[in-house]
Amino acid sequence: MVPELEQESQSIVEYSKLQPDTLPARRVLFTQSSSFIHHSSVAFRLSSQRASILMRSLVVGCTLIVMAITVPMAAAQKVDLSIDASKTGAKIDRNVFGQFAEHLGHGVYEGIWVGPDSRIPNTRGIRNDVVGALKAIKVPNVRWPGGCFADEYHWRKGIGPQRSVTLNPNWGGVTEANTFGTHEFMDFLDQIGAEAYVSVNVGSGTPQEAAEWLEYMTAAAPTTLAKERAANGHPAPYKVALLGIGNESWDCGGNMTPDYYLSQMKVYSRFVRNFNPEQQDKHQMLKIAVGPGGGEPRWTEWTEAVMKAYQQHTWSWDINGLSMHNYTVGHWPPSYTSVGFGETEYSQILKFTLEMDGLISKHSAIMDKYDPDKKVALVVDEWGAWYAPLPGSNPGFLVQQNSLRDAILAALNLNILARHADRVRGANIAQMINVLQAMIITDKEKMVLTPTYYVFKMYIPFQGATFVPVTFDGGWYTHGDVALPRVDAIAAKDANGKLWLGITNLDPNQPVEIEASLAGITAKSAAGETLTAPKVDSVNTFDTPNTVVPKPVSARVQGGKLALKLEPKSVTVVSVEP
Ligand code: AHR
């Protein structure tokens, strides 16, 4: 016991030698305890026995006081926000909160599908725990079956009683059992209450194969394909809300030039029809063309080409969206670790992730040139953190942990997407379960919800809400050569007139005191939740699932102002009752 205390005392002395100005705020606190060290030097002049007793009690006292003051941390930074709820912007499309489930690693098999004979509780082969968790975050749509996998997927192998076993050359070269096919996907969507975003095979398939798949899924008339669907257990036509015409056709989807892709895309757009009678007038299927994967000239040229063609399109083809992929990776191949990192990697990854804003602005500006009325949506249908594979995992399975850093990264991206709500009307985080920045991690019968999951849960009120501009200047959080805005915030009004505020404190060391002036709303009360954890790389594990979970936060409303304290490295969502 005593040696440990002495060690603690030693560290206090070392910190006390440092200059407060050069230290992060948390460490400055340690220097404030230096007066206790000074007192302890007086103790050495006393008799050795008394001195030793006194020394021990001083060390205990110092340690307790240091422990007490390290928890509340440094003095809070004050940040003023100003919100006028009468000045509304675009609606934040709920499809911005979409998910992506590719046949990759344990994303589908084990993550969703365990089969009806599994000991893991399931409904028709789909695991109940995962369904329960996903229902709770109100997933609007799921993009499936890929990703790169989509351009090698042949839907016929995944229907009927006899399923072909194929290969998955993109992702680990493993066998693909095809036991999770069209009917299982649609059943899964029904169970979680989400819509289908189906990506058809443009790379190695044909327009006919894709057209027949759509007829199989959506025809109500008694065609041979509709009857086959009925014989396979589903007489009623399925709905397909979104159709992806290829995936990364400039790369894993067939290495096409913009012109080559355009000629393919027009054919698919024309012939891959949705026949569902309920999707003819209202709720028409939205067709999403392949779009950019970065900001370099090859991507801006791609966007130019597709949007220019769109501007000149005739009655015979159309698109409703342009996809964009943007991963937070730092550098390829992914080398940042998903656990066991510190403030340097935390700040660098957040800096990279904020580049999403510039990328959207860049491609939106091109789209504006050809589509000033913003008829074509930008659909960021792959985004999220892509780190080095966890040691010991199959590198083709893209397995990574999910930490508090990912929660903050998710909130920052959702805020960016919301700020671009007039153009960005869809997005899909990659990926839903067990792959990349997942909501859920499973291992056999075990399941754990990640910090990212909780951000999606806290952000539910923003689904379909109307954007309300927020102005603020929180100053900068700096670490090494990285400078990041200390806070980020969005606001939106829901259908009941309630105002919602999502605020992130990026600074891992200092709390923030928010004072928000509220105009255009007579605020009565406020309540909310906050998500933080002891460390930037804190994670939830099967054994400790509650390390990073939301907790209630108190907010005060007085005289048209909202007062709220944000913990360091936290995501907070607050509702203001009119
Ligand atoms: O999400 C993993 C892969 O990333 C997808 O299959 C592909 O579209 C992208 O390159």
Residue 167, judged by CB atoms within 10 A of its CB (0-12, 13-18, 19+), counts as exposed
Q: What is the pLDDT of residue 22?
A: 26
φ, ψ dihedrals at 22, nearest 5°: -90, 0
The answer to whether residue 301 is catalytic is: no
Q: How close is the Cα of 148 to the center of ligand 1, in Å?
A: 6
- Cα separation values, 567 from 249, 370, 411, 506, 508, Å: 43, 44, 15, 10, 9
> Residues lining ligand 1, judged by CB closer than 6 Å?
102, 146-148, 247-248, 382, 430-431, 436
**From the CA of 227, how far away is ligand 1's center (Å)?**
34
- Sequential DSSP letters for 136-170: TTT--EEEES-SGGGGG--GGGGSSSS---EEETT
**Low-confidence residues of the chain: pLDDT under 70:** 1-73
In this structure, are residues 387 and 334 in contact, taking their beta carbons and an 8 Å threshold? yes
Element at 447 (helix H, strand E): strand 446-449
Quote the tokens at residue 172. Answer: 């680990």
| Separation of CA 133 and ligand 1 centre (Å) | 24
- What contacts 331, CB < 8 A, 6 or more positions away? none
Q: What pLDDT does 53 receive?
A: 37
Cis peptide before 169, with omega less than 30 degrees from 0? no
Non-local CB neighbours of 143 within 8 Å, separated by 6+ positions: 98, 99, 100, 101, 197, 199, 242, 244, 381, 428
Give the nearest ligand 1 atom to 100 CA.
1
> From the alpha carbon of 149, which atom of ligand 1 is closest?
6
If one residue of 201, 245, 247 were mutated to test the ligand 1 pocket, choosing by the most ligand atoms within 8 A of its CB, it would be 247
Asked if 515 is an active-site residue, the reply is: no
Q: Where does residue 47 rank: exposed (0-12), middle (13-18), buried (19+ CB within 10 A)?
A: exposed
Residue 327 CA: nearest ligand 1 atom is 4
- Identify which of 99, 100, 102, 381 to mutate to test ligand 1's pocket (most ligand atoms within 8 A of the CB): 102
Please check whether residue 249 is in contact with residue 261, taking contact to mean a CB–CB distance below 8 angstroms. yes
Question: Whole-angstrom Cα distance, residue 328 to residue 356?
Answer: 9
Which of the residues 102, 248, 345, 567 is marked catalytic?
A: 248
Strand partners, 443: 446
| pTM for the full predicted model | 0.88
| Ligand 1 centroid to residue 216 C-alpha, Å | 27
Q: SS in 3 state form for 355-405?
A: HHHHHHHHHHHHHHHHCCCCCCEEEEEEEEECCCCCCCCCHHHCCCCCEHH
Nearest CA-CA partner of 108 in 121, 95, 127:
127
Q: Ligand 1, atom 3: nearest CA belongs to which residue?
A: 147
The DSSP letter of residue 12 is H
Residue 26 CB burial class (10 angstroms; 0-12, 13-18, ≥19): middle
Give φ, ψ of 546 to 5 degrees.
-110, 25
pLDDT value at residue 73:
55
What spacing in Å lies between the alpha carbon of 149 and ligand 1's midpoint? 8
Nearest CA to ligand 1 atom 2: 147
pLDDT at 75: 86
Question: Which of 325, 329, 332 for mutating ligand 1's site (highest number of atoms within 8 Å of CB)?
Answer: 325
Dist CA 397 CA 337 (whole Å): 15
- What pLDDT shows up at residue 557? 95
For residue 437, how far is its CA from the centre of ligand 1 (angstroms)?
Answer: 12
- Which of these, 510, 502, 512, 514, lies nearest to 557 by C-alpha position? 514
In single-letter form, the type of residue at position 309 comes to A
Contacts of 505 (CB under 8 A, 6+ apart): 486, 487, 511, 512, 566, 567, 568, 569, 570, 572
For ligand 1, atom 8, name the residue with the nearest CA: 147
C-alpha of residue 204 to centroid of ligand 1, in Å: 16
Helix ranges (H only) for 193-296 are: 207-218, 224-231, 258-271
Report the pLDDT value the prediction gives residue 60, as an integer from 0 to 100: 41
In 3D, which of 274, 251, 243, 249 has the Cα closest to residue 263?
A: 249
Residues near 321 by beta carbon (within 8 Å), at least 6 away in sequence: 242, 286, 287, 288, 289, 376, 377, 378, 379, 425, 426
Ligand 1 atom index nearest CA of 170:
6
For residue 147, the ligand 1 atom closest to its alpha carbon is: 6
End-to-end CA distance of the chain: 55
Take residue 361 and report the two structure tokens written for it.
């602005």
Probe target for ligand 1 pocket from 248, 290, 383, 428, with the most ligand atoms within 8 Å of CB: 248
Q: How far is CA 551 from the centre of its chain?
A: 20
Instruction: Look up residue 571 and give its two tokens.
Output: 């995501």
Asked if 272 and 315 touch (Cβ cutoff 8 Å), the reply is: no
Residue having the nearest C-alpha atom to atom 7 of ligand 1: 147
| pLDDT tens column, 223-236 | 999 999 999 999 99
267: β partners: none
Span from the CA of 423 to the centroid of ligand 1 (angstroms): 23
Q: How far apart are CA 485 and CA 349, in angstroms?
A: 14
Long-range pairs of 154-158 with CB within 8 A, sequence gap ≥ 24: 154/201, 154/205, 154/209, 155/181, 155/182, 155/209, 155/213, 155/216, 156/209, 157/181, 158/182, 158/184
Taking CA atoms only, the protein residue closest to ligand 1 atom 9 is 147
Nearest-atom index, ligand 1, CA of 436: 1
Q: Which amino acid is at 214?
A: L
Count how many Cα atoms sit within 13 Å of the Cα of residue 125 in the half-sphere of its side chain: 13
Please give the Cα distance from 557 to 576 (Å, whole number): 8
Q: Atom 6 in ligand 1: which residue has the minimum CA distance?
A: 147
Span from the CA of 441 to the centroid of ligand 1 (angstroms): 19
Strand partners, 424: 378
Cβ contact 393:68 at 8 Å:
no
Task: Dump pLDDT digits (tens) for 536-546.
Answer: 999 999 999 99
Structure tokens at 150: 């989509």
Q: How far is CA 164 from CA 8, 158, 198, 315, in A?
A: 64, 7, 21, 39
